[in-house]
């Protein structure tokens, strides 16, 4: 039996309980978690913005040590450090054949599987495939990637979502070039990773935007050269900081209609806006036909940073080893499983960066 954070049903509070995991079957890996990040997507699962089968063990950003492997698993062995990959690509669907593995049609099919059971026999699903809010988990072999050399396990947990998303938003989706200006909306875990990635890309002016004045120091440490407290005049403030034109690129990490619209308005004519935040279906963003023509701006979605973890993790790891990317700077709180609900509350209140569950 291992301890885990369970979502009994949508809208219900998390429950910390013992669960019983099966031994890994063919093509599966059992992992003892070292750490798991508390991501806004986990909160979106609790309130129904994103839907997966329940009851479920949540948590999708984590790293740990392989305990045992099932038949046919050869790329990792017991004792290896691994990063959990919550969205493994199948390699066969239309998106995968186009090389867009982040859009794999089958990436989340594992969330429908029976992952574990509670002491009374209740069947549990694995949240977003990997069920990282637990002392141990059993996942498909495709859901584990070796931890790059020189990366501590606790820091490596952040690679599984926040860092891949933020890095990919800058380097893959927005394709920021050296000398360009960037605005990042939302200074949470993903936003902090995006700011660091913009600095690595050689962005000139990097504007961080958040509702909380208290996050300025955190944002500047991550690479922001300017800080704007969100208000009804955010777009005007950003234009003032960029010679009246607006930034070349805006990255929205919040997932709210008003923030997406403001990010778009904050870019120059011909600018690019990448939306990373996951919003609900009720968040409607509107544009008129004339302004779309006149401004010539680009608005694009961004899933998992448009990243291929197998390709991008070694690149990010080299940035970490060279001191260009500070993984620990994303973390503002270390907690246990019992601290996850409070971490969700802090997210809703706009407080802090990434909370990290350390086992």
pLDDT of residue 48: 85
Residue 311, domain member (yes or no): no
pLDDT of residue 160: 94
Residue 189, domain member (yes or no): yes
Domain stops at, among 303, 318, 350: 303
Q: Mean pLDDT for the chain?
A: 96
pLDDT category, 6, cuts 50, 70, 90?
Answer: very high
pLDDT of residue 335: 97
Tally the domains of the chain: 2
pLDDT of residue 50: 85
pLDDT tens per residue, range 139-185: 999 999 999 999 999 999 999 999 999 999 999 999 999 999 999 99
CATH number of the domain bearing residue 224? 3.40.50.720
Residue 13, domain member (yes or no): yes
In whole angstroms, how far apart are CA 337 and each of 6, 14, 35, 225, 334? 10, 10, 10, 35, 10
pLDDT of residue 30: 98
pLDDT of residue 214: 94
pLDDT category, 47, cuts 50, 70, 90?
Answer: confident
Please state whether 350 falls in left (phi above 0), alpha (psi between -120 and 50) or beta.
left
* Residues 289, 207 within the same domain: yes
Q: How far apart are CA 61 and CA 41, in angstroms?
A: 10
CATH number of the domain bearing residue 111? 3.90.180.10
Q: What is the 3-state secondary structure (H, E, C) of 44-65?
A: HHHHCCCCCCCCEECCCEEEEE
Radius of gyration of the chain (CA): 20
Residue 87, domain member (yes or no): yes
Task: Record the pTM.
Answer: 0.96
pLDDT tens per residue, range 265-292: 999 999 999 999 999 889 999 999 999 9
* Residues 148, 232 within the same domain: no
The percent of residues above 70 in pLDDT, for the chain, comes to: 100
Decide: helix, strand or coil at residue 202: coil
pLDDT of residue 51: 85
pLDDT tens per residue, range 192-237: 999 999 999 999 999 999 999 999 999 999 999 999 999 999 999 9
* Residues 103, 223 within the same domain: no
- Take residue 301 and report the two structure tokens written for it: 């979605």
Cβ burial 237-265 (10 Å sphere, 16+ → b, else e)? bbbebbeeebbbbbbbbbbbeebbbbbbb
Decide: helix, strand or coil at residue 333: strand
Pairing mode of beta strands 15-20, 116-118: antiparallel
* Residues 238, 261 within the same domain: yes
The domain containing residue 146 runs over which residues?
Answer: 2-160+326-358
Average pLDDT estimate for 293-308? 97
In the predicted model, is pLDDT for residue 52 greater than 90?
no
* Residues 112, 182 within the same domain: no
In the predicted model, is pLDDT for residue 49 greater than 90?
no
* Residues 37, 116 within the same domain: yes
């Amino acid at each position: 039996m291992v301890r885990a954070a369970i979502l009994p049903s949508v809208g219900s509070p998390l429950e910390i309980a013992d669960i019983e995991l099966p031994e890994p079957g063919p093509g599966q890996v059992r992992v003892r978690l070292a750490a798991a990040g508390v991501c806004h997507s986990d909160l979106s699962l609790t309130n129904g913005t994103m839907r997966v089968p329940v009851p479920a063990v949540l948590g999708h950003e984590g790293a740990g040590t392989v305990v045992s492997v099932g038949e046919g698993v050869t790329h990792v062995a017991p004792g290896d450090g691994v990063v959990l990959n919550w969205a493994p690509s199948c390699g066969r669907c239309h998106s995968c054949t186009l090389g867009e593995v982040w859009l794999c049609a089958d990436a989340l099919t594992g969330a429908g599987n029976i992952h574990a059971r509670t002491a009374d026999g209740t069947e549990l699903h694995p949240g977003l495939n990997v069920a990282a809010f637990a002392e141990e988990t059993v996942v498909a072999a495709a859901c584990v990637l070796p931890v790059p050399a020189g990366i501590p396990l606790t820091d490596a947990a952040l690679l599984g979502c926040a860092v891949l998303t933020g890095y990919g938003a800058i380097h893959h989706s927005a394709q920021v070039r050296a000398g360009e200006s960037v605005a990042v909306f939302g200074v949470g875990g993903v936003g902090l990773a995006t700011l660091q990635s913009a600095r690595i890309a050689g962005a000139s002016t990097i504007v961080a935007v958040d509702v909380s004045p208290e996050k300025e120091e955190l944002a500047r440490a991550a690479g922001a050269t300017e800080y704007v407290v969100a208000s009804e005049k955010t777009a005007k403030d950003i234009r003032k900081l960029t010679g009246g034109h607006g930034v070349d690129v805006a990255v929205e990490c919040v997932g709210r209609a008003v923030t997406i619209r403001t990010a778009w308005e904050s870019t120059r004519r011909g600018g690019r806006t990448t939306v990373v935040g996951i919003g609900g279906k009720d968040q409607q963003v509107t544009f008129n036909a004339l302004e779309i023509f006149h401004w010539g701006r680009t608005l694009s979605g961004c899933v998992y940073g448009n990243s291929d973890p197998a390709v991008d993790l070694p690149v990010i790891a080299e940035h970490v080893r060279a001191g260009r990317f500070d993984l620990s700077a994303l973390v503002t709180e270390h907690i246990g499983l019992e601290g996850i609900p409070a971490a969700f509350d802090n997210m809703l209140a706009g407080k802090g960066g990434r909370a990290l569950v350390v086992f």
